[in-house]
Structure 1
């Protein structure tokens, strides 16, 4: 929810007289110098925010509503929002934040901002505030000092704050009259009497449901008569309850979906499919049945316990039910019909078989043992009903390998993929439906096959999907393979889990990564059971699980042992695992060294199918180390090999690496080409990591071209959490670029929030570049002379970390800052150093920026100085000339450069006079015959 300190117009409220009276009484106590706290709770759509807005509007004392800061729950972001609403200037807000974090706490900050002034402070969605802010507020409320009245809203199903003596009010449903008045207020079309009655009956006094349904009816043709079926559809309910559902942990959401689907009537011949919304009485849902199936959707028993403890689910162990019937329908509204049919199949395989669905019992291999049952199946990536397949067993002595992006797995030249001729797509039918072909084709009836044979077939199918298919589907297939191989081939089961983790990593799902490492999934193994794993494999598993849970002190020792033991091996699989561990530890030079050894080993053995993954690892490690040209060279080789072996997912990642390298060089055309090809595959196959890298490269190219607003808008989702955000392992790496773009685009508040979270991450010690980048972010956000100190500290950190490219970026920013403050002599040193460093790193676009800034200070630019007329233009004139040559109008140039059109026209006249041209066409032709620094082109 969002809001502002004041509202322009008083929202209409119905049946909330007692609640408003309680708030008015609270404000009156504040006016008398007495502090108090009122807690306000309610479910989704019950009007908590509207009530707070009305309270602010009606208050006789100074009042503000402060919404929960959106996004990442950065430490102290809630208190920052509170003091920013009260402070007259940003600097006063920063001082107040420092006071709130000091011994005086929140009362000290409020006393400094509003000494002796009574306040009504309405804090919305307290359950979404960060933990640091909630703790500070709890301490302030217990102290109860100052003339401050607090109205604190939080969602039902969340524990209220522990405030002694606080009054608790719960927003319930509306009366019939209140609901009727609200409907008259929000519905924009006349309704028939019968339809009006139906709508009121189905909404049952729920304000949010009533409002959402009325809005939908008003927007639909013939809405006055309404639909023939239920008025309140599941999609509208899902919108009302979206905030609650999005705030739940992923495991809890999966369990809610299981309970909602399990209560539907099962599909039977001759009756409507419940997944299509057919009628039918709800079935009782037992907790044991839910827990038995939960493993198939990567959910633990603790998730069900939490839902019951929070009150979202109620009832006995034999009959669970939703506390709120609307919530059940909202959950169903988020589950696609195809997924609902799959969940039905998990609960009742015979019914699914009768209706033509696929069965998928949670028992996996055990379900098939001794009963002659058909083997468990999972949805195929292409959505077809492909069955299980057999594959030739692995030859003796074959060793597992590792997958892309620092995640271990199985090399394609071992096991089934090797026997298929190094081509993962050999396991798909020519039509692309995913049916095994050739020697790997499964018999029509695989009931009699042992679990190991079927497990190897699923392993081959999962490997094929990992190389060229949706990685989410490959993850599920590989978990199934691990369960089938657990008893008869524990070593291969471990490999399948590592491959499942690789798929989850590529998909940006840390929870699924931990599930694969912990032995979860279809097999039902206990976490920590990793049969057949040697000591280094256990170290890797334990270290990665600790890193995924952000328990870094536990992760460092086992991962360091992996690097030490496997980093000197001659086996590609172990070298890849060591390189992955080094990347997680933030040791990019060690990762480059180990992965270069893996590449040499692969070339010596003439391996082909694993080569794209080795090159993918190496290119990424070189990017982390700032070796962009080397990364591009290895990515080009990896791209050729990936395309020749049919591994489109690996090719997408290589395209993303090439796009990032091109963004450093300033080759905008190459950025667009490689990023576009990466995104074409990545979005279709769920490759969140490749998507993040590609979007990042486009944003960096935009930033280098002066399009800071576009770059900031593109990067903002990448630094956020949740399903719409970037890859969890790349989010913090993107933040410094976002802060730079956001500051240039006037989005300092968002930049500050991101920088605060980056500061927490930098303190973990995972990236040696982070301290220098953090100091640079602080410099960009600082005011006055503080920036110089931060820039100097950033340069000092860069000297210690050894990344020349990041050091040069900081020097360029520092030089710009000095030049804009007319400290020209001081600016020449950092700018000259930055220019030379960029030239050595082949970062052409950055070198051009440094050269233009250095020329503006009157400093010498060395041998690359431009004697021609174009080179004699000022940096501002060069920017305007290039934009004119690109076809921009004066108004467009003014908007982009934050100038007035008259100023642009003045500069353009001087450009024409200096270059001796008479029109925009002549200017465009002249610039097309020269390079970016004004020299004649050889073309």
Structure 2
């Protein structure tokens, strides 16, 4: 019976009941050692009637081995791997070392975990209990966190027990319960239950000093009964450890040796411990006293400690010499089993100085971890290998490998600190360049853009003669740094011109990417494009030259900057498709973020919501706040177009990512543009003008959103009678239209001229001729609205009604409420009888995820195929289809296909 844990038990019961009903959930139990986390996991196991229970735990000696904790948890379910989608099956096979399939995206492993748990739950609900999750290796923790965040309708529960100040699962992404000590009454009842015969004053001090810590209340009375209360304060964990130490010391020496072996091993498997015990001259029968005392139990062929602190006491309470002997015996046992990774780590635990044999073994272990996408484990192994290296050259090389693995695993600060240290000893230019890239990656991610730019340009110059390709991509990243910094035209110009120093051949396909960048920055830098190769040819050649996510992101972003929105959508869709097909989940948020923005500016609100919703979810799951900002900016723009002030404000706040040095993420700039568009639509013209002027003159005025906002600025200025204040912005937009020669840009420029020049009508008519009837419906309708207003003021009511009617139809189709209201008002003033048109969009009732799943189902994809593409479970897909059908008034897939 648990004392004083009614609320925590109720929370666990609710999760288990939800799983029985087909709903999933995850919960982190966080608290100090001994506070009752393990007891609550046992409670969950006892209450899991009708659920399959999977148990796992982290251990101190397992935290360096990639996916060790995940393998321990899912080992009973590995016979179901064949039921998973191919990419996910390959990812888990690689992670568990069951086959060599090459490097996989580390987040694909998390998707595989979700699918495997969902597959298990097809037969019965599943509850996973993970104790000491703060000791999980980083790769296991990351995979479990990814799966936990995407749980939905599988009937799966994940419970994690974690130390109070551990950073594992500390992002706030999962629900959390912080455990406090027992109240006085519950603490007293627990002591009474254990027949703790203590003097009243000692009893009260025990309750007060332990702050109701249940483990301390259970373990310390025996110590206090014999020795009395200690004279001064002592950390609670140390008190409990001392109690455990005393219990261990009371056992026979051979039993203590068994406890030490079990504590020093990460698996507890008797198949490993028995030969190690034989080497230390202990027999299996020597285990009996530990089992009789309840310190250890045998479960599924492995020894399990009653409490994690007991394991710590058994290990740290042993003298150094026996600990070294235990690790050496375990190393031999693992070598005989062919487990060279664990052998290497067991030897590394006890190495006291340089040892090239152990260093080489750890490097090989790191190589294997890297092939399994265990980046953090690989980084740790490479670093330890560097520490044990006998030569400076080997140490620097291995530390560089550690830095690269750490950066790829998201440990940017860790990697940068070591890269800075290794750079001081590096003598090879290639090695120096690699270390520079690690430092620059960390600087860029944290907004230190100037420093990253300097590192990259200096490093590129140093390596250019030996490795042109590395130098090229370093300069490309430097260009991104310059673009993202507050306006510095000289830095931008120097970054562009730096590519000339590489002296690439005229037929080098990488030159297309350079020319695309030059096209995109020509207008902000005031450069003449007359001598540039044709933009359409440049985009086509750049698209052909783009390889992998980095190249495709480059083409997508530059096409967007150049106003090639249709080509940008194609590039973004290619990036998304490649990410899905190859399992590179990490690249998906970039493609989806750009796709959302492009659809938003094209007026494709439904597609924008689908891309943004998925992009935000995956960006959060993979720890990429920059792309959360991009996608949120797109949603803010769509909400502004439709006049949804609450949603626009919410998405603006979500997009408001600010980096250090005052740099604002591009998504936040788009959100500011959206706020101005919202003001304009709602008739708050002064507010719109102020926001747009701030963008036009602000530190990011060279960026894409600010340039695209100029037509809105001109409209606001015209309505306020302040056209003279936006002359410079209008001239800049004119240069943009002339340089890019895109019909939609020229149409908006013509609209601006219609608003600012005396002879307006030719410009309005030219704008409507340039507008595409099938895309950018919102912008065409706005031109029709402005033209209709002009015609009405010129007393040409019949002509005005034609333009205003067309505008109203478009605004209603787009659900652009404020703009539709304005068109109705103008139509009424023009003498037309206006009635509201009932919304006819049957898909409007669907959530973005329901719509996305419905569209894929309408294409003939099965639930399993949809789940694999969207990194969901098939049961979640089925649930969303079940919710969508009634909203659409249908009951079958065939009807869905006909409808969509």
Give the alignment's TM-score, normalised by structure 1. Answer: 0.42
Alignment TM-score, normalising by the size of structure 2: 0.44
Larger fraction in helix: 2
